[in-house]
Copies of this chain bind each other. A is one copy, B any other.
């Protein structure tokens, strides 16, 4: 029913407002960018998605759900890396003070210039500007890395020299990968100005995206609103392992609000300052990432966009079962694969269209230095492909850094049946050359070298042997290490009790983004009636499952409304009674816009013989039957 090309975003936005799915917060005060309130329909949809998430993940796997503080102390987020690294670069219009994200403004300006180049060339070739714009839009939608709509630059048809065009394209391809200095250099080199006013912009300045506050009356204890729910889970690892009777593997989970003080939020629910996340931290033995239930999902077929394809500059996806993907090493391990498949099944269940869902692997330069593999579930919308769920192997990073900082052991201890000798990567620092070479950075470089995952050790060892040098990521920068500074080799150790820091596989869901994508995928217009929008949510997540409509305000209907609504509620069927004076037709249209799958109408025949009509939203088919039978139908429908 829904297809991307017929989609009319303005119509959906109008519906979203009219039926109060969501709206800007404090709208009567003028609103604030990036903050939204969910109305009754949006909030019910949100709650139903969360409830299904809980059933699908938490209850199914007996995950340990927690509910931790939003207000988080400086120390915790300093250790996790957020104080230093959770930042974007911003620049300011030097005349009117408008603020932009540096990478976004570069993209907007260069894309506009490339577009102007195309139009100028097309004009020469005799094509119309509209034809060209349509082609460009198509090309952009097909592009892999356009995840969000940025502010558009003004397009002026000016032809570019070939080398200039190429340097723009190269810059855009790496836009997520630049440091502040590099962004500044690019802005200078390409004379990037405000795409709105044409004014000059300030140099990019780092801006931490966490909301800051002070805890208590003395002003001495700095706190932040958490940027993710994960840290609260890691900090409770020891208690959770104990709660789980020290058994591994296990997972914790949390649903809750997180905050990012975005520089310049746009794109509705897709880039907001306050949002609901649902995160799972699955703790697994780093030596055995098999999953006991992998067998259950191995035949699930997925659309994958592996990093190897992207790195060759392409965006062709491959269809493959998760079983094959893991067997062929496309996906790193069974546990990661298991969750990717479970995420797919969840999104399908709530109503995301299969053909507009893909899993994109992060390229090496996109991943945090500690991550071994990461896949995003991307959903296609009118804004392009949107990252809605991340599924990363965070290795032992978080537990390791918190443990180091607090001195609290965050490990699993396993009595070995008999002592064993294991082979592992061993790192030897050459103290004599290390300190002098890295000076103040020595500690950070050493820490980075100590917490690599096996794949990275193997790569580094290979490079040291082959070239005498290799590199390691330290605070987001590649740092060179040479074989005179460090030796990396396989060695053996003997263990009696095995003590290890578990690795963490983290599926992390942005519920607001999923909800928005679902709205787009569920929206369509009845062919026979242009004005009639429908939202075809599956019953299981629809804001209300059933609408109860008395034919008119006639008093004879009242006892039936009361009786039936009580019985529907008791049977767990969520309900909206619409006894307004609008015609039945108008009320059906209203229900369609709210995505309510079923409507029960009470009329004079009901008063006579207890039968009602049941109308199904998508087909508009109606049947008449006793209320009791209709109730059974509804209960079975979800």
Residues facing B in A187-217 (CB within 8 A) are 207, 211-217
Does A39 touch B at the CB level, under 8 Å? yes
Does A13 touch B at the CB level, under 8 Å? no
In the complex, are the beta carbons of A29 and B62 less than 8 A apart? Answer: no
In the complex, are the beta carbons of A60 and B569 less than 8 A apart? Answer: yes
Contact of A207 among B28, B75, B217 (CB under 8 A): B217
In the complex, are the beta carbons of B235 and A62 less than 8 A apart? Answer: no
In the complex, are the beta carbons of A67 and B90 less than 8 A apart? Answer: no
Does A25 touch B at the CB level, under 8 Å? yes
CA distance A110 to B358 in the complex (A): 68
Does A166 touch B at the CB level, under 8 Å? no
Chain B nearest Cβ from A116, distance in angstroms = 30
Chain B nearest Cβ from A299, distance in angstroms = 19
Does A185 touch B at the CB level, under 8 Å? no
In the complex, are the beta carbons of B23 and A273 less than 8 A apart? Answer: no
Chain B residue with minimal CB distance to A64?
A: B40
Most buried by B among A36, A37, A207: A37
Chain B nearest Cβ from A63, distance in angstroms = 8
Does A232 touch B at the CB level, under 8 Å? yes
In the complex, are the beta carbons of B39 and A243 less than 8 A apart? Answer: yes
Does A154 touch B at the CB level, under 8 Å? no
In the complex, are the beta carbons of B66 and A40 less than 8 A apart? Answer: yes
Q: Contacts of A274 on B, CB cut-off 8 Å? A: 69-71
Chain B residue with minimal CB distance to A24?
A: B69
Does A27 touch B at the CB level, under 8 Å? yes
Q: Contacts of A216 on B, CB cut-off 8 Å? A: 33, 99, 261-264
In the complex, are the beta carbons of B211 and A213 less than 8 A apart? Answer: yes
Most buried by B among A23, A39, A40, A406: A40
Does A257 touch B at the CB level, under 8 Å? yes
Does A575 touch B at the CB level, under 8 Å? yes
In the complex, are the beta carbons of B215 and A214 less than 8 A apart? Answer: no
Work out how many copies of this chain go into the complex: 2
Chain B residue with minimal CB distance to A51?
A: B51
Chain B nearest Cβ from A165, distance in angstroms = 32
How many of chain A's residues touch chain B, expressed as a range?
Answer: 35 or more
In the complex, are the beta carbons of A259 and B71 less than 8 A apart? Answer: yes
Does A128 touch B at the CB level, under 8 Å? no
Residues facing B in A552-606 (CB within 8 A) are 565, 569, 574-580, 582
Contact flag A240-B99 (CB < 8 Å), given A35-B69, A207-B217: no
CA distance A29 to B402 in the complex (A): 9
In the complex, are the beta carbons of A235 and B28 less than 8 A apart? Answer: yes
Q: Contacts of A90 on B, CB cut-off 8 Å? A: 217
In the complex, are the beta carbons of B67 and A43 less than 8 A apart? Answer: yes
Contact of A36 among B69, B76, B569 (CB under 8 A): B69
Does A174 touch B at the CB level, under 8 Å? no
Q: Contacts of A243 on B, CB cut-off 8 Å? A: 19-20, 39-41
Contact flag A59-B402 (CB < 8 Å), given A73-B32, A212-B214, A274-B69: no
In the complex, are the beta carbons of B215 and A213 less than 8 A apart? Answer: no
> Contact string, A15-56, partner B, CB cutoff 8 A, digits 1/0?
000011001011111001101111111111011000000000
Does A247 touch B at the CB level, under 8 Å? yes
Q: Contacts of A225 on B, CB cut-off 8 Å? A: 71, 213, 225
Does A236 touch B at the CB level, under 8 Å? yes
Does A65 touch B at the CB level, under 8 Å? yes
CA distance A591 to B235 in the complex (A): 25
Residues facing B in A520-547 (CB within 8 A) are none
Chain B residue with minimal CB distance to A55?
A: B569
Contact of A66 among B39, B232, B264 (CB under 8 A): B39
Does A494 touch B at the CB level, under 8 Å? no
Q: Contacts of A569 on B, CB cut-off 8 Å? A: 59-60
In the complex, are the beta carbons of A39 and B240 less than 8 A apart? Answer: yes
In the complex, are the beta carbons of A240 and B32 less than 8 A apart? Answer: no
CA distance A194 to B19 in the complex (A): 57
Does A72 touch B at the CB level, under 8 Å? yes
In the complex, are the beta carbons of B245 and A578 less than 8 A apart? Answer: yes
Q: Contacts of A636 on B, CB cut-off 8 Å? A: none
In the complex, are the beta carbons of B406 and A28 less than 8 A apart? Answer: yes
Q: Contacts of A574 on B, CB cut-off 8 Å? A: 59
In the complex, are the beta carbons of A46 and B67 less than 8 A apart? Answer: yes
In the complex, are the beta carbons of A217 and B263 less than 8 A apart? Answer: yes
Contact of A28 among B40, B68, B211, B408 (CB under 8 A): B408
> Contact string, A423-442, partner B, CB cutoff 8 A, digits 1/0?
00000000000000000000
Q: A70-B70, A71-B259, A246-B580 are in contact. List 10 more A-B contacts (CB 8 A).
A: A26-B75, A37-B66, A43-B65, A43-B66, A60-B569, A70-B257, A212-B214, A213-B213, A216-B264, A217-B263
**Closest 6 pairs (CB-CB, A-B):** A245-B580, A37-B68, A40-B64, A38-B67, A25-B69, A43-B67
Subset of 13 A-B contacts with CB under 8 Å: A25-B69, A26-B235, A28-B406, A32-B221, A35-B69, A37-B66, A37-B235, A39-B240, A62-B575, A71-B211, A71-B273, A99-B216, A216-B264
